Amino acid sequence: MSNPLLQSFDRAPFSKIKNEHFKPAFLQAIEDARAEIDAITENSDAPTFENTIEALEFSGQQLDRISSVFFNLNSAETNEEIQKIAQEVSPLLSEFSNDITLNQALFKRIKAVYEQKDALALTVEQDTLLDKKYKSFSRNGANLPDDKKKRLREIDTELSKLKLKFGENVLAETNAFEMHLTDEKDLDGLPEGEKEAAAQMAKSKNKEGWLVTLDYPSYIPFMKYAKNRELRKKLSMAFGSKGFYQNELDNQENVLKIANLRHERAVLLGYETHAHFVLEERMAETPEKVHEFLNELLEKAKPAAEREFKELEDFAKDLDGIDRLQKWDGSYYAEKLKQKLFDLDDEKLKPYFKLENVIDGVFKVAGELFGLRFNEVFDIDTYNEEVKTFRVTDEKGNFISLFYADFHPRSGKRGGAWMTSYKPQYVKNGENVRPHISNVCNFTRSTPSKPSLLTFNEVTTLFHEFGHGLHGMLANTTYPSLSGTSVYWDFVELPSQVMENWCYEKEALELFAKHYDTGETIPMELITKIKESSTFHEGMATLRQLSFGLLDMSWHGADPSGIKDVKSHETEAFKGTQLYPDTPETCMSTAFSHIFQGGYSSGYYSYKWAEVLDADAFAYFKEKGIFNKEIASKFKDNILSKGGTEKPMVLYKRFRGAEPKVEALLKRAGLL
């Protein structure tokens, strides 16, 4: 049987791939990559940058392509068979990765080049690549004795399985819960569009009435609008207790194992904790700096958050006699208070944010800033008929990137929103190979009577992920491992978060915020209200983000071996940021996929860190004009196209002329 994954392909051949192709493709590609490594180590010539560092950089490209196709499907279009294959191939990939970083002959050659780097007259990018390759070995055990190398392999294999299992459990818990309602009174308060979506969901499962699920487009509106407090509680408890049911999908044991194995791994490599290991390669550099940063913001945000919470409690008491505000009351009364203060709610805004118009809007903003053009094409193979594809070009018609967009929830798709890549950008043999980038989101579907209309929060999410997308699309580096979003983790959110700022600006909104029915442009009064309400409950929102960052550091910034109970550890970590009463039946850690499955361990602080960067960067745009070509060009040339070729602060200062100031964020958030 010919295997499409083992043919040379430019675009991912989704329709030709069957599940049974994956494992043989992985096995073959690993063997081929091994042969490429052998060719480097067996080369009788003295080690040079070209025959060792560059050769290693461009090895295993077929394996990388297969991995990107497979693991992206495991996130966006998975099933039991794919999950089973993931459990089988992840340890193989982990083992192969260890085989490279623990390969003495290979490390000897890399070290030889590294030790003569001052005499090599390398470009800035080559120097960064050499540094990165050397560290990827030294930071992953190349200097360890054999017994410790063996233990490192065991840890990495086990971690790869545990992280997958953690994510599978969260997805299974999300899919397993349904709140089936048959009395229309239970939907009191819900806007018509949300009711219709719940009815459509029930119908798709051959049920009467309405279905509410834990997917964001279903969960968030119910928590925000449903009058029935008991049902809000039921839904909130289900959402908050994913992986915390002491059943076969329970993640408590996985959390403890992951935290302890990460700590053991870091100590094995000579670091105090996992956070010390991770942060060595971040802008923040040390756990002390992260704590200092989080606590500085906490000091500024906490008084504001406590004032806001008191105001919300008083409001709920006056309105409905609620004596003690609970977690399942927050969104509901915040929405009511927001409507009272600003006469603004999502239902007033949604008609102006038809999904297709917002997509068109983000394309127009990218066009105004960076001269990009997006043409929808229909001859690109996709993994689901809902996926849209676009050919991206510059003003001269030069091909820049392929862009995939996948916007609605499905049972085989994990929650949330993310950007990913099917093919990186790099330069080889004189050819600038262009990237294939994808945005995946979970937005409300259209219904028989209405198109897909986004909440304002979903609009900012789309702009956010598209910012990551631009970082990938506009990449212009020589080496794939330094291209696009391959940057320090606390820098990667700058392009995404800065894009959200355009959603609040009149000039940008007028490009795309048009009523889906009448075509009328969003009225100025609504734009003013969006602006005015943008700092509503910013203290509470900041406190919430800081609590997640502190929880992450509590798992990874100290020895976790003394932690016996996940919930009580979490309660302790949340102590300084807690506003709502604790609910003993819920637990954040057991579904905190960012840090236990994704790449954010010891890095959740980076959302706030990048907010400082993005507030400071956007202040520059505001100063000169939000579509100022000169500033946009500086942002593109110094940030978006440069990837990880230089240290982030060097790139940022080249763009901005100075280091970022935390005051820009505090001012924007109304916390000064």
Active site residues: 465
Pairing of strands 418-423, 373-377: unpaired
- Alpha carbon separation from 379 to 298, 376, 385, 425, 435 (Å, rounded): 51, 10, 12, 22, 17
Cα–Cα distance measured from residue 457 to residue 500, given in angstroms and rounded to the nearest whole number? 10
Q: Look up residue 392 and give its DSSP letter.
A: E
Please answer whether residues 113 and 53 qualify as being in contact, where contact means their C-beta atoms are separated by less than 8 angstroms. yes
- DSSP code string of 117-184: GGGS---HHHHHHHHHHHHHHHTTTTTS-HHHHHHHHHHHHHHHHHHHHHHHHHHHHHHH-EEEE--G
What token pair was written down for 226?
């449903």
Q: What are phi and psi of 85, to 5 degrees?
A: -65, -40
Cα–Cα distance measured from residue 594 to residue 598, given in angstroms and rounded to the nearest whole number? 5
Cα–Cα distance measured from residue 183 to residue 656, given in angstroms and rounded to the nearest whole number? 57
List of long-range contacts for 141-149, beta carbons under 8 Å, 24+ apart = 141/98, 141/101, 141/102, 141/268, 141/269, 142/101, 142/102, 142/104, 142/107, 144/102, 144/268, 144/269, 148/268, 149/102
User: 3-state class of 494 per DSSP?
Assistant: helix
- The burial class, CB within 10 Å (0-12 / 13-18 / 19+), for 189 is middle
Q: Look up residue 577 and give its DSSP letter.
A: G
Q: What are phi and psi of 200, to 5 degrees?
A: -65, -40
Residues 6 or more apart whose CB falls under 8 angstroms from that of 356 comprise: 451, 452
User: 3-state class of 599 per DSSP?
Assistant: coil
Cα–Cα distance measured from residue 209 to residue 510, given in angstroms and rounded to the nearest whole number? 39
Dihedral sign, CA of 661, 634, 494, 367?
positive
Cα–Cα distance measured from residue 311 to residue 386, given in angstroms and rounded to the nearest whole number? 43
Q: Chain-centre distance of CA 231, in angstroms?
A: 30
What token pair was written down for 606?
């980076």
Q: Look up residue 425 and give its DSSP letter.
A: -
Nearest Cα neighbor of 112 from 137, 87, 82 is: 137
User: CA neighbours within 13 Å on the CB side: how many for 270?
Assistant: 10
What token pair was written down for 499?
């894009």
What token pair was written down for 15?
């329709």
